[in-house]
Structure 1
């Protein structure tokens, strides 16, 4: 059981396994209860502490200490620290930005930039007719070490799968854009408390919803595509064996 749990992937990695399993779990896909807590806690502490004290230096110090503590706890427990370390880096960038600018609202600037970057990147992928979510998921699912064009043509040539990837790419563009539409006005108005609340509500909850809806959209066409692949591979193997027997 433990071994099975260890093999579960999160984020888009979980979607890459969507065609293999019927017991998809949103909680597992977003890192489990512990992953959710570790992701949200620094942000919760930051906004609550700043609203209560209005002391930016104290807020930054406590938030930074908490983020470091999370990594130390995982190290002591000999657990994977990649998620915690990546979270620490993200929080560190946000805290440094707020510290240098002496404005609490700039804690959220890095999030605006990353969301805007994803909107632009995914939009370009749709214009190029290579849906970005499909590119990432298929890359995770079947790492193309060679024959890149054949790998690309394989999943793009499946109309149902490519359409599903196009839909979820547009969905994720909507998620990132909606965050900006709601949060940027709060940033411009310097409403740190409301901005922090919006950031939390539109963070993990939106992430979980996007993954769940994406799973519902891609699971069936991905499963069918994999079945077709297995059938084609089986036919190719039979043909190869037949040819070898004829040669002998």
Structure 2
């Protein structure tokens, strides 16, 4: 076969590279935030709590059911050997809510730890962005295998992370602006149903905006690939030095 006959692989076009970058960004966000299953694990305990409480107005049975379903979700992930971080975070959140509500005897306090966490997280997104280290970059950097390279080596990506962090922070704070007045004015069932309704839409909006900002940003710098390349080059240099010209 001549060189003319050999098949050649055309380099990817800019449009193909852009589509690939967007697909990688989408997959990474899906992994980082748990996907559909993570959303179900986030919503189900609170939904079960407010459903049972709406029916029987019993704090103990509602709290036990919510905690039990959280533990079942973790057990399922452990059996399937899946990532358990989202399920475990759900268990801890529900457990704090159960303990707090049991201590105060106020069913609305089941939701208070989660609301305070949301408030703190929203403020953390804003504060870290103002400090020049946007939180969403700290979360997603390892997922994209870029670690903190975006801070000094990829200014376009740092700008995208800053925009995304602003989006997350403002969305979470807006959510808190709805929930905290309801904590004081509404009853437990009303607060619970509003909280369940506000679980997914703001989250999806924040994830979508993050995807939009990152899809338009420069691609991440794969620092792991750079480290591996440097290790290979070092080994090659050592091998060349050991096998140098004989006298």
Fold match (TM-score > 0.5): yes
Alignment of 1:1-248 (within 5 A): 19=21, 21=23, 24=26, 30-142=33-145, 152-155=151-154, 158=155, 160-223=156-219, 226=221
Q: Note if contact 1:94-1:108 (Cα within 8 Å) is conserved in structure 2.
A: yes
Q: How far did 1:166 drift?
A: 1.7
Q: Say if 1:209 and 1:47 are closer, same or farther in 2 by CA, change over 3 A.
A: same
Q: How far did 1:85 drift?
A: 2.4
Give the superposed CA RMSD. 3.6
Please report the TM-score for the alignment, with normalisation by the length of structure 2.
0.72
Structure 2 stretches lacking a partner, 5+ long: 1-19, 230-235
Q: How far did 1:131 drift?
A: 2.2
Q: Say if 1:56 and 1:126 are closer, same or farther in 2 by CA, change over 3 A.
A: same
Q: Residue by residue, what CA displacement relative to the aligned partner does 1:45-83 show, whole Å, maximum 9, x if unpaired?
A: 101111111111111122222222222333444444343
Q: Note if contact 1:186-1:192 (Cα within 8 Å) is conserved in structure 2.
A: no
Q: How far did 1:130 drift?
A: 2.7
Q: Say if 1:34 and 1:161 are closer, same or farther in 2 by CA, change over 3 A.
A: closer
Q: Note if contact 2:101-2:107 (Cα within 8 Å) is conserved in structure 1.
A: yes
Q: How far did 1:104 drift?
A: 0.9
Please report the TM-score for the alignment, with normalisation by the length of structure 1.
0.71
Q: Residue by residue, what CA displacement relative to the aligned partner does 1:156-188 show, whole Å, maximum 9, x if unpaired?
A: xx2x32222221111011111011100001101
- CA distance in structure 2 between the aligned counterparts of 1:27 and 1:171, rounded to whole angstroms: 18
**Whose helix proportion is higher, 1 or 2?**
1
Q: Say if 1:29 and 1:131 are closer, same or farther in 2 by CA, change over 3 A.
A: closer
